[in-house]
């Protein structure tokens, strides 16, 4: 399977690096490890647990340390919808799912 990152998910990671209290070096390493972890999905696509269904699509979440990785699987492609800190509201997660599929 191929892992495809949405622009929103990429921006989530950039925002994390820009706003975290971690040093630039540590935040960059953290994001690199998170991306590597997501890479396991190409072989183990159902590693995460089912979060919800939206428009007949099953939405999964995978937790990496303090981040929630939201993704969907369609036609041998894994779409990373968003990467949000676990402290962020569930409403933001649902909004990101809706925007991904409705755009």
Domains in the chain: boundaries: 2-102
Residues 48 and 71 sit within 8 Å (Cβ to Cβ): yes
Q: How does strand 49-54 pair with strand 2-5?
A: unpaired
Q: Does the pLDDT of residue 100 top 90, yes or no?
A: no
Local structure of residue 41 (DSSP, 8 states): G
Q: What is the pLDDT of residues 21-75, one digit of tens each?
A: 889 899 999 999 999 999 999 889 888 999 888 888 899 999 999 999 999 999 9
CA gyration radius for the chain?
13
pLDDT number for residue 9:
95
Please, which pLDDT band fits residue 82 given cuts at 50, 70 and 90?
very high
Query: Highest mean pLDDT range out of 15-19, 91-95, 97-101?
Result: 15-19
C-alpha dihedral (38, 40, 46, 47), degrees to nearest 10: -80
Q: Does the pLDDT of residue 93 top 90, yes or no?
A: no
pLDDT number for residue 35:
96
Cα(31)–Cα(13) distance, integer angstroms: 7
pTM, 2 dp: 0.88
CATH of domain 2-102: 3.30.2310.20
């Amino acid at each position: 399977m191929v892992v495809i990152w949405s622009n929103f998910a990429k921006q989530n990671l950039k925002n994390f690096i820009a706003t975290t209290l971690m040093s630039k070096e540590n935040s960059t390493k953290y994001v690199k490890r998170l991306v590597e972890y997501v890479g396991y999905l190409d072989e183990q696509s159902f590693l995460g647990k089912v979060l919800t269904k939206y428009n007949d699509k099953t939405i999964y979440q995978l937790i990496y340390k303090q981040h929630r990785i939201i993704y969907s699987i369609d036609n041998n492609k894994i779409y990373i919808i968003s990467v949000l800190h676990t402290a962020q509201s569930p409403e933001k997660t649902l909004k990101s799912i809706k925007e991904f599929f409705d755009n």
